[in-house]
């Protein structure tokens, strides 16, 4: 991870994913899509536009109500979320006690469409992906007929003009979400809520999260979003405290009804407006929680014990020595063959021990070493990241060996 715009002094809580981080993030998203879209018959995928007609956000209630309480120190002009500071006390920045009144601050980021500025050209960067599923509900059904219950899944960027950012990837202004709007009959909502509750727990294990650090927090009446009849937050034990990781909400029929009223379009299914269960995952928070779950100090080595399915590289290939042409050539051949089916990386830096440790740190599950014995019997050493044990495998069997490991 790199600080965003670092050569210009950065930008508050803006982060860029470097080569290894970008691949890990992509693998998390690919696993989610495969699990909840490709392997299910009741969920369809969608990729809706980030900038939507502003009437969408009026109908959904975001223009009027998507806000946090804001207070400003009138001495140093720093702004804070009013629920994050005690305005009975002094400002944590300048130690003065000179607070403004608490105001509601809308979190949506505005932009202008076209060359001429004006209220008629105002649009918003979406603060959530969910509205795309509701707005496209009719189109999805007309081209992909489904019976209830069924879901529409989407992953993509969302933007929130957070008053207070921080804690690395936990609270940022540019984030990425993975969400499913699961359309149901009202009478089935409790059963469907439990179904997706179990699916969330299955995902924790699949992606490699430490489930001992995950807690369910039932959101009480008066604290839930206005559209929700029931919400559970799945919270994680971060180094900075127990905070939200994912959410599961019963949104009733609020969204489809609001868009039906505002647009004049019929968004019913067989004469009834469906209700919705919404499981939602944050990509960036998943990345952070996965890293925290996988980090391990084992004696004198640091190991990132990632699930091999999401590891940035599945296998690293080494020549035992660099100055032996036959070994280097054979190692290059092995590397090229493995790279056809696996995310493989070449490493011939320094001694073999340092190479192993380097791959351990970035979570590569297996290292293949081509050595002198390889030239005699066409076998290589395969080392396991987590146990550091080694075994000899025939080169011709490597492909099937790793395929079986990744099942």
* The pLDDT of residue 1: 92
Q: 27 pLDDT band (50/70/90 cuts)?
A: very high
Domains of the chain, first to last: 2-52+128-293 (3.30.930.10), 315-405 (3.40.50.800)
- Residue 358: in which H helix or E strand, if any? helix 352-362
Contact call for residues 275 and 17 (beta carbons, < 8 A): no
Tens digits of per-residue pLDDT, 123-166?
999 999 999 999 999 999 999 999 999 999 999 999 998 887 77
Q: Which of 234, 289, 214 is nearest to 28 (CA)?
A: 289
Contacts for 192-195 with beta carbons within 8 Å, 24 or more apart?
Answer: 192/149, 192/277, 193/230, 193/248, 193/250, 193/277, 195/277
pLDDT at 227 over 90: no
* The pLDDT of residue 256: 97
Cα–Cα separations (whole angstroms), residue 13 to 26, 163, 173: 21, 12, 8
- Residue 87: in which H helix or E strand, if any? none
Tell me the average pLDDT across 310-330: 96
What's the pTM? 0.91
Contact call for residues 267 and 168 (beta carbons, < 8 A): no
| Residue pointed to by tokens 């296998």 | 315
Tell me the average pLDDT across 21-29: 98
Whole-number Å distance between alpha carbons of 148 and 90: 55
Give the residue, 10 or 236, on which the prediction is more confident: 236
* The pLDDT of residue 276: 98
Whole-number Å distance between alpha carbons of 186 and 254: 12
Q: Residue ranges of the alpha helices (H) in 97-188? A: 130-135, 137-143
Tens digits of per-residue pLDDT, 203-214?
999 999 999 999
pLDDT at 31 over 80: yes
Q: 114 pLDDT band (50/70/90 cuts)?
A: confident
Lowest mean pLDDT among 166-170, 177-181, 324-328, 384-388: 166-170
* The pLDDT of residue 13: 86
Tens digits of per-residue pLDDT, 262-285?
999 999 999 999 999 999 999 999
Cα–Cα separations (whole angstroms), residue 92 to 71, 87, 95, 99, 104: 13, 10, 6, 12, 21
pLDDT at 119 over 70: no
Q: 67 pLDDT band (50/70/90 cuts)?
A: confident
Cα–Cα separations (whole angstroms), residue 358 to 1, 296, 365, 382, 404: 17, 14, 12, 16, 25
């Amino acid at each position: 991870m790199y600080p965003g715009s670092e050569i210009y002094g950065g930008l508050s809580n803006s982060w860029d994913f470097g080569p290894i981080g970008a691949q890990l993030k992509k693998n998390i998203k690919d696993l989610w899509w495969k699990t909840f879209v490709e392997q299910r018959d009741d969920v369809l995928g969608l990729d809706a536009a980030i900038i939507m007609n502003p009437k969408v956000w009026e109908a959904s209630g975001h223009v009027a109500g998507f806000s946090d309480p804001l207070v400003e120190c009138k001495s140093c002009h720093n702004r804070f979320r009013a629920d994050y500071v005690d305005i009975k006390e002094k400002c944590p920045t300048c130690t003065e006690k000179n607070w403004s009144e608490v105001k509601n601050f809308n979190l949506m980021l505005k932009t202008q469409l076209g060359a001429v500025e004006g209220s008629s050209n105002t649009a918003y960067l979406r603060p959530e992906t969910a509205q795309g599923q509701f707005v496209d509900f009719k189109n999805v059904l007309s081209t992909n007929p489904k019976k209830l219950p069924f879901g529409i899944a989407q992953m993509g960027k969302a933007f929130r003009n957070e008053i207070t950012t921080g804690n690395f990837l936990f609270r940022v202004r540019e984030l990425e979400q993975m969400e499913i709007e699961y359309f149901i009959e009202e009478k089935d909502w409790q059963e469907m809520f439990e179904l997706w509750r179990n699916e969330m727990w299955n995902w924790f294990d699949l992606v490699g999260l430490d489930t001992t650090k995950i807690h369910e927090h039932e959101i009480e009446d008066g604290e839930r979003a206005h559209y929700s009849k029931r919400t559970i937050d799945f919270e994680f034990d971060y180094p900075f405290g127990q905070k939200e990781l994912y959410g599961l909400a019963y949104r009733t029929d609020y969204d489809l009804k609001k868009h039906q009223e505002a647009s004049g379009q019929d968004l019913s299914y067989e004469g009834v407006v469906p209700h919705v269960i919404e499981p939602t995952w944050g990509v960036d928070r998943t990345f952070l929680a996965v890293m925290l779950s996988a980090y391990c100090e084992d004696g004198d080595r640091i190991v990132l014990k990632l699930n091999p399915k999401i590891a940035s590289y599945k296998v690293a290939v080494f020549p035992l020595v660099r100055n032996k042409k036959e070994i280097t050539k054979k190692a290059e051949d092995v590397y090229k063959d493995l790279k056809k089916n696996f995310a493989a990386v070449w490493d011939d830096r320094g001694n073999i021990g340092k190479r192993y440790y380097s791959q351990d740190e970035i979570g590569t599950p297996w290292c293949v070493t081509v050595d002198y014995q390889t030239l005699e019997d066409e076998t290589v050493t395969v080392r396991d990241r987590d146990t550091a044990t080694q075994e000899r495998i025939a080169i011709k069997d490597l492909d099937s060996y790793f395929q079986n490991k990744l099942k």
